[in-house]
């Protein structure tokens, strides 16, 4: 294990934009060690006044849509405009495999070598809540280090989209034409969450199909209620392979930022996200304290067996354990 720096050394390194110190600080926030959690909390509190100035963009999409290529091309476009970009990944599925996000730095080789960009694979072996917490904290650290745009990629499916929507300003959904019935095969909830839908791989023989899918999505969005943000969700075609349509997407993102900054939605949304983060933290800390409690550890195996055999109702078992936990912690 590498020796830990002091809180002041971490803070100064991050604020100076030192990538090595930033990486080490993110590793501290991902650690489960109690001493590291205390250190991480102190670092985050120190850098908090310098965070929050970046534009936070979540990106998700159907399997095979080419998220990594798209993110690399979008990232390169943003850095070409003189802005610093950080790419983070949220991958709840990594807990099962023990692996991380399919080697982001390998898949985004050009962006990884861009001095204006920073790429961080997702933490491994964490619970869904743990992944969300570490991603939020990594985002704050990157903002304090001077990154002006944070791109958060979802890898796992299902709840990860909701998690990313809950920690970003702008949510971009990548879709693919010619992969079955897009409208039937996609969850309505994800469509409603998206601030922009981009049909990727609009090139070659797939161009006509992509344009048809774009028209279908535009028609479908008319059935949805007007978004609270005040920004009418556009549907566009793009080709990450040919680097076409990327500038238009970035213009939409900037327009969204202008509108929501002016009408107050951006500020209000971030305030609500912070409150949700606090509530998630309370739940996670309570759960960790519960399962770490020595009396719970002693009782848990026997209670699980009784529930599995049908001798004890799950709700009654939970109440027994909670009563034991509360009694011992008051």
Give me the residue spans of the domains in the chain. 1-50, 51-262, 278-326
CATH number corresponding to 1-50: 1.20.5.170
User: What does the pLDDT read at residue 180?
Assistant: 47
Cβ atoms of residues 137 and 37 within 8 Å = no
Closest to 22 in 3D by CA, of 188, 144, 111: 144
Give pTM, 2 decimals: 0.88
β pairing state of 55-61 and 85-90: unpaired
Q: Which of 127, 58, 71, 136 is nearest to 94 (CA)?
A: 127
Residue 64's region, left for phi above 0, alpha for psi from -120 to 50, else beta, is left
One digit per residue, the tens of pLDDT, for the chain of length 330 reads: 678 999 999 999 999 999 999 999 999 998 888 899 999 999 999 999 999 999 999 998 877 888 989 999 999 999 999 999 999 987 655 444 444 444 555 578 899 999 999 999 876 556 666 677 788 999 999 999 999 999 998 875 566 788 889 999 999 999 888 654 444 445 566 777 899 999 999 998 889 999 988 998 888 887 778 889 999 889 999 999 999 999 999 999 999 999 999 999 999 999 999 999 999 889 988 998 999 999 999 999 999 999 999 999 999 999 999 999 998 554
**Class level of CATH domain 51-262:** alpha beta
Where do the H-state alpha helices sit in 1-66?
7-15, 19-30, 34-47
The DSSP-derived string for 220-244 is HHTTSPPPTTS----EEE-BTTTTB
Q: How far apart are CA 100 and CA 122, in angstroms?
A: 6
**Could you give the angle at which helices 314-329 and 294-308 cross, rounded to 10 degrees?**
170
């Amino acid at each position: 294990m590498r020796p830990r720096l002091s809180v002041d050394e971490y803070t100064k390194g991050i604020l100076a934009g030192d990538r090595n110190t930033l990486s080490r600080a993110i590793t501290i926030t991902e650690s489960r060690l109690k001493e590291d959690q205390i250190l991480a909390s102190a670092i985050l509190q120190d850098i908090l006044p310098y965070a929050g100035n970046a534009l936070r963009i979540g990106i998700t999409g159907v399997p095979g849509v080419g998220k990594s290529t798209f993110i690399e091309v979008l990232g390169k476009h943003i850095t070409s405009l003189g802005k610093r970009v950080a790419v983070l990944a949220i991958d709840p599925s990594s807990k099962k495999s023990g692996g991380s996000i399919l080697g982001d730095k390998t898949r985004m080789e050009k962006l990884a070598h861009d001095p204006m960009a920073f790429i961080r694979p997702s933490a491994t072996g964490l619970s869904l809540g743990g992944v969300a917490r570490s991603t939020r904290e990594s985002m704050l650290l990157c903002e304090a280090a001077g990154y002006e745009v944070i791109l958060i990629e979802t890898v796992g499916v299902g709840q990860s989209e909701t998690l990313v929507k809950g920690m970003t300003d702008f949510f971009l959904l990548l879709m693919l034409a010619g992969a079955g019935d897009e409208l039937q095969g996609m969850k309505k909830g994800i469509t409603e969450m998206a601030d922009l839908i981009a049909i990727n791989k609009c090139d070659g023989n797939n161009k006509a199909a992509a344009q048809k899918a774009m028209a279908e999505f535009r028609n479908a969005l008319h059935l949805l209620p007007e978004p609270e943000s005040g920004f009418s969700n556009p549907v566009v075609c793009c080709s990450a392979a040919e680097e076409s349509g990327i500038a238009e997407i970035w213009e939409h993102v900037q327009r969204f930022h202008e509108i929501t900054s002016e009408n107050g939605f951006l500020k209000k949304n971030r305030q609500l996200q912070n409150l949700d983060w606090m509530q998630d933290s309370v739940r996670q800390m309570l759960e960790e304290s519960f399962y770490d409690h020595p009396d719970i550890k002693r009782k848990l195996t026997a209670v699980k067996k009784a529930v599995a055999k049908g001798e004890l109702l799950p709700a009654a078992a939970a109440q027994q354990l909670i009563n034991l936990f509360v009694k011992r912690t008051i």
